[in-house]
Amino acid sequence: MKQIITLLVLAIALIAFSSNTLKVLKPFPPKANSGAPGEQTCIICHTGTDLNGGPGNIKISYNGTRNTYKAGKVYTFTVTVTDTSEIHYAFETTALDASNNPAGVPKLIDTTVTLIQTDRRTGRQYVTDYDATPLNTWTFKWQAPATDVGDVSFYLDGVAANGDLKDKGDHVYTSAPFVLKYKASTKEEDLESSMNVNVFPNPVQTTAFINYDLGQDGDVTLAILDNHGKLIRTLFHGYADAGTHSLSMDRSGLAAGIYFIRMETQAGNMTSKMLVQ
- pLDDT tens across 8-39, in order? 444 444 434 333 333 334 567 899 999 999 99
Question: Count of alpha carbons within 13 Å of 163, Cβ hemisphere only?
Answer: 9
pLDDT tens profile 129-145: 998 889 999 999 999 99
- pLDDT at residue 252 is higher than 50: yes
Predicted pLDDT at 236: 94
CB 51 within 8 A of CB 41: yes
Predicted pLDDT at 26: 53
What are the two backbone dihedrals, phi and then psi, of residue 270, each rounded to the nearest 5 degrees?
-150, 145
Concatenating the DSSP letter of every residue in the chain gives -HHHHHHHHHHHHHHHHHHHHHHHH--SPPSS-SS-TT---GGGTS-SS-TT-SS-EEEEEESSSTTEE-TT-EEEEEEEEE-TT-SEEEEEEEEE-TTS-B-SEEEES-TTTEEEEE-TTT--EEEEESS-BS--EEEEEEEPPSS--S-EEEEEEEEEE-SSSSSSS-EEEE-S-EEEEE-PPPHHHHHHHT-EEEEESSSBSSEEEEEEEESS-EEEEEEEE-TTS-EEEEEEEEEE-SEEEEEEEE-TT--SEEEEEEEEESS-EEEEEEEE-
Dist CA 277 CA 272 (whole Å): 16
Q: Over range 64-90, report the average pLDDT.
A: 94
Q: Which amino acid is at 115?
A: L
Please report which confidence band the pLDDT of residue 202 belongs to, taking 50, 70 and 90 as the band edges: very high
Dist CA 153 CA 59 (whole Å): 14
Q: Over range 46-54, report the average pLDDT.
A: 92
Dist CA 40 CA 15 (whole Å): 28
- The more confident residue out of 132 and 124 is 124
Predicted pLDDT at 188: 61
Parallel/antiparallel/unpaired status of strands 243-250 and 257-265: unpaired
**Mean pLDDT of the residues in the chain:** 87
Dist CA 169 CA 4 (whole Å): 42
Dist CA 156 CA 269 (whole Å): 39
Q: How many CB atoms are closer than 10 A to CB 141? A: 17
Q: With pLDDT > 90 as the criterion, what percentage of the chain qualifies? A: 67
Return the top range by mean pLDDT from 22-31, 71-80, 83-92, 178-187: 83-92
Predicted pLDDT at 266: 82
Predicted pLDDT at 192: 60
Domains of the chain: 27-182 (2.60.40.4060), 191-276 (2.60.40.1930)
pLDDT tens profile 142-173: 999 999 999 999 999 999 999 888 888 999 99
Q: Which of 37-46, 61-70, 201-210, 265-274 has the lowest mean pLDDT?
A: 265-274
- The more confident residue out of 270 and 236 is 236
Please report which confidence band the pLDDT of residue 269 belongs to, taking 50, 70 and 90 as the band edges: confident
